[in-house]
């Protein structure tokens, strides 16, 4: 094994955390920080060291979506093992996705939360699950989902020592569940904050540093969020009428004004299908079913959506070929009518509702996007007048699904654009 100094593996901001892990002082480590803070590098290194040190230890690493695992956390372990000079001691296997410690057969298993059944079936050759790592934990629906996963992973192992890592870039809004959770003092919980400023410059490279400085000059608010990992919500949230809560099966059974919208995904954007109930009298919207994911092609989407073909789906009309294909398979679908100003009109309609109730477990994308959707400022701190066209896929889906309701009535006058 090549000997590498600790200072060559982890940034100085993590030295104390490393000592705490060796002393087994905490059960939970919440690692928050901006881009380039090396929190993922640190976590992967500590799990590799822990596997080698404890011959009974195994690990499970999870992200929200399956297609995010290979190029992020799995690749991070490959890089870290090579950097440590121990890659030859491990077998890196893509299918099923796992890393095997060759001397003992211990495993690091990779599972996604978008298929809960697979998370419940973790096959280990020996030992127990000592480490769990939730990467980009802000993409999960909340602590209820996390607790359910941990109960499945740690079931039946008595009082063995366990360590859970939560790593994330804090969302903009202080209302986001992960920002709220990390502020709760709890025995056995350690919250750690780091930024790229704590990392040796040569590790990051001149291009990274130049990009950070450029963003700092042209958009300080974005710089503080992306690179410093700050909660920068400053009253610019577009929707102040969001209520996140469980919507029960019994409540859903009473819904009688079902609407459905579809925003098609692209290479780096997720597909978003939202099923909702619009209570026109009380002016409340209930979003209770969602199909979403990256690289979710039409055939895959239709296989999931067939059960919801009881009502018309209104989709993004910019994709006529996709609409025609889905229609040929039997889907009740049509394109949304668009016109100048239709985006602004639709968002204002949603803002004007008494409440938008979202079940965060059933609809994690919608919960995340509606909570975090905020107006942007220019380099001088002046609020831009236009609504941002990013991280709004579920919002677009909801707009399409309600487009025919929007043109019929609103509670108070909203300027309706020509050509809607």
- Tell me the catalytic residues: 136
- Cβ partners under 8 Å of residue 230, min gap 6: 34, 170, 224
- Residue 336 near residue 317, CB atoms below 8 Å: yes
Query: Distance between the two ends of the chain, CA-based, in angstroms?
Result: 67
Range 103-115 burial, b when 16+ CB lie within 10 A, else e = ebebbbbbbbbbe
Ranges of beta strands (E only) in 150-240 are 163-168, 189-194
Under 8 Å between Cβ of 261 and 399: yes
Assign 56 to helix, strand or coil.
coil
Which long-range contacts does 248-252 make (Cβ < 8 Å, 24+ apart)? Answer: 251/286, 252/277, 252/288
- Interatomic CA distance for residues 79 and 61, integer angstroms: 16
Give the whole-angstrom CA distance, residue 320 versus residue 326.
10
101's tokens: 């410690």
Q: Which of 161, 171, 142, 134 is nearest to 43 (CA)?
A: 134
- Burial class for 417, CB neighbours closer than 10 Å (0-12, 13-18, 19+): middle
CB atoms within 10 A of CB 299: 10
**Parallel/antiparallel/unpaired status of strands 28-33 and 189-194:** parallel
Q: Which residues contact 202 (CB under 8 A, 6 or more apart)?
A: none
The whole-angstrom separation of Cα 317 and Cα 5 is 57
Query: Does the N-terminal peptide bond of residue 31 adopt cis geometry, omega within 30 degrees of 0?
Result: no
Q: Residues 194, 33: contact at Cβ < 8 Å?
A: yes
Rounded Cα distance between 54 and 46, Å, is: 12
Residues 343, 349, 355: CA angle, nearest 5 degrees:
130
């Amino acid at each position: 094994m090549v000997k590498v100094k600790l200072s060559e593996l982890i940034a100085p901001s993590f030295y104390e955390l490393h000592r705490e892990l060796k002393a087994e002082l905490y059960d939970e480590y919440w690692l928050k920080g901006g881009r380039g803070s090396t929190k993922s590098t640190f976590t992967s290194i500590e799990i590799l060291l822990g596997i080698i040190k404890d011959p009974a230890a195994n690990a499970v690493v999870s992200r929200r979506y399956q297609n995010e695992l290979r190029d992020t956390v799995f690749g991070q372990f490959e890089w870290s093992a090579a950097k440590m000079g121990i890659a030859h001691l491990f077998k890196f296997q893509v299918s099923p996705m796992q890393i095997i410690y060759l001397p003992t057969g211990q495993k690091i298993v990779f599972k996604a939360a978008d298929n809960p059944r697979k998370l419940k079936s973790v096959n280990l050759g020996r030992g127990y699950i000592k480490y769990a790592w939730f990467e980009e934990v802000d993409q999960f629906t909340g602590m209820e989902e996390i607790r359910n996963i941990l109960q499945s992973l740690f079931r039946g192992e008595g009082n063995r020592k366990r360590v859970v890592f939560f790593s994330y870039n804090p969302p903009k809004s202080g209302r986001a569940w992960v920002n709220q959770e990390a502020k709760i003092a709890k025995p056995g919980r350690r919250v750690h904050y780091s930024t790229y400023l704590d990392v040796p410059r040569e590790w990051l490279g001149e291009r990274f540093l130049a990009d950070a400085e450029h963003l700092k000059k042209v958009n300080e608010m974005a710089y503080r969020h992306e690179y410093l990992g700050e909660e920068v919500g400053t009253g610019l949230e577009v929707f102040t009428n969001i209520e996140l809560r469980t919507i029960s099966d019994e409540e859903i059974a009473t819904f009688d004004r079902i609407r459905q919208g579809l925003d098609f995904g692209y290479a780096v954007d997720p597909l978003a299908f939202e099923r909702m109930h619009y209570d026109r009298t009380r002016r409340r919207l209930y979003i209770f079913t969602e199909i979403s994911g990256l690289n979710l092609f039409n055939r895959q989407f239709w296989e999931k959506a067939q059960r919801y073909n009881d009502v018309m789906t209104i989709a993004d009309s910019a994709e006529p070929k996709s609409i025609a294909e889905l229609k040929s398979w039997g889907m009740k679908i049509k394109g949304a009518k668009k016109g100048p100003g239709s985006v602004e009109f639709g968002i204002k309609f949603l803002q004007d509702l008494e409440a938008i109730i979202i079940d965060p477990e059933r609809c994690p994308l919608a919960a995340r996007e509606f909570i975090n959707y905020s107006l942007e400022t220019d380099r001088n701190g002046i609020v831009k007048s236009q609504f941002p066209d990013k991280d709004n896929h579920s919002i677009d889906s909801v707009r399409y699904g309600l487009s025919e309701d929007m043109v019929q009535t609103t509670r108070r006058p909203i300027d309706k654009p020509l050509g809607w």
